Amino acid sequence: MISQSSRNIWVDYLRSAITVLVVAHHSALAYTSFSVFNKDAYILSTHAIVDNDRWAFLDYFVGFNDTFFMSLMFLIGGLFFFRAIDKKGTGLFIKDKIFRLLIPFLLLGTLLMLFAYFPSFYLAKNSTDLRAYIKDFFATEAWPVGPPWFLWLLFVFNVLAALIYRLFPAGYGLFWSEVFKSKTHGFKLFLILFLTGLLAYLPMAAYFGPYSWTGFYPFDFQLSRLLLYFAYFGIGAAVGRLSLSEGIFSKNASVVKHYRLWCLLAIASFIMMLFFSGEIVKQQLGDTFFILCCTLMCIAFITTFSKLLVKNFCWWDSLSKHAYLIYLLHFVFVTWIQFFLLPIHLPVPLKFLIVFLLSLTLSWGIAFVLRKIAIAKKYL
């Protein structure tokens, strides 16, 4: 075992842990109390499969994930931006992102979603006509993108950041460098994330609404969170420009040493957000608590992983190595297993666990096999 790797194992472990949360999140969506299935256009449903059996606890689990995990994924996605672009140069960097993000999104994403959404078509139309399904998939449903939407948006953020860096190579990413370089500026870190989140999210949520999505065919994104996600990607890039072993998220930094406090504050903020989510409270206040919760959750996860995960574990190394493919593959297994469980009467917690564990295990196993292929191992 080694105490630290040059890549900072806690970052890889955090990325893979969030991937597992994504699998669990989609496994839960069939069983929340608010889930709705739209037979006229299943893309307008809350999830590809909706079971008649529900479990209200999963509402809180889904809400917990929704507050932070995509923002944190974009932050992690920005951490190695400078290391990669300084090593490869702008042209090769963008070319690499095309092969790692855009092509998997367009080709693998489309193929996998064609498999994943067939049960939805069957439930909506009571038909197994493949030609009708493919026509409906691209026309009526407007090319459902599913979880891979994250890939194309991360690609765009990388390209935008690369172009900005090309224009302003000296000053790019230095705005917060003093805070991120210091090991004692924990409160300033919180303020930067919180205030940046407010500025990026509140105007967009007020104008478009907090839950609105838009896009052109597979290029879907959540309108209200577009700037929030780009801001977190930029913050991740600024953090990653410095050494993760020496900056504000290093093991001995003050903000990391107080990881328990950040966890308590994160839990408290989530409870407060639930309390203020009623209709009697103005939307702006609810959105403010959403950003507070997002900020504290991200800090809590980062500091906890940085503090506690300093040794390698073989199984977690494998999970980290295959996390990208697990993210791409899991939705196919989630929807089909949820579909097969529809007529089976089981306690909802057991259904959820079956979907989650089987989807994770099968995705992991297929990812292991696929990475035996040289091109998959290189880019995925």
- What span, in angstroms and rounded, lies between the C-alpha atoms of 203 and 227? 10
Over residues 137-166, the pLDDT tens digits come to: 999 898 999 999 999 999 999 999 999 888
Q: At 335, which amino acid appears? A: T
pLDDT number for residue 210: 83
Check whether 122 has a pLDDT greater than 80: yes
Q: Using 50, 70 and 90 to split pLDDT, how confident is the model at 301?
A: very high
What's the predicted TM-score (pTM) here? 0.92
* Contact present, 295 and 194 (Cβ < 8 Å): yes
Q: Using H for helix, E for strand and C for coil, what is the string for the chain?
A: CCCCCCCCHHHHHHHHHHHHHHHHHHHHCCCCCCCCCCCCCHHHCCCCCCCCCCCCHHHHHHHHHHCCHHHHHHHHHHCCHHHHHHHHHHHHHHHHHHHHHHHHHHHHHHHHHHHHCHHHHHHHHCCCCHHHHHHHHHCCCCCCCCCCHHHHHHHHHHHHHHHHHHHCCCCCCCCCHHHHHCCCCHHHHHHHHHHHHHHHHHHHHHHHCCCCEEEECCEEEEHHHHHHHHHHHHHHHHHHHCCCCCCCCCCCCHHHHCHHHHHHHHHHHHHHHHHCCCCCCCHHHHHHHHHHHHHHHHHHHHHHHHHHCCCCCHHHHHHHHCHHHHHHHHHHHHHHHHHHHCCCCCCHHHHHHHHHHHHHHHHHHHHHHHCCCHHHHHHC
Over residues 216-258, the pLDDT tens digits come to: 888 999 999 999 999 999 999 888 887 676 777 877 788 888 8
Burial of 295 (0-12, 13-18, 19+ CB in 10 A): buried
Check whether 204 has a pLDDT greater than 60: yes
pLDDT number for residue 353: 98
pLDDT number for residue 280: 44
Average pLDDT over residues 57-82: 94
Q: At 324, which amino acid appears? A: Y
Least confident of 60-64, 191-195, 206-210, 273-277: 273-277
Least confident of 68-77, 155-164, 284-293, 302-311: 284-293
**How many angstroms separate the Cα of 189 from the Cα of each of 76, 182, 192, 303?**
16, 10, 5, 12
pLDDT number for residue 1: 36
Average pLDDT over residues 54-82: 94
Average pLDDT over residues 316-320: 95
Over residues 339-380, the pLDDT tens digits come to: 999 999 999 999 999 999 999 999 999 999 999 999 888 888
- What span, in angstroms and rounded, lies between the C-alpha atoms of 122 and 31? 19
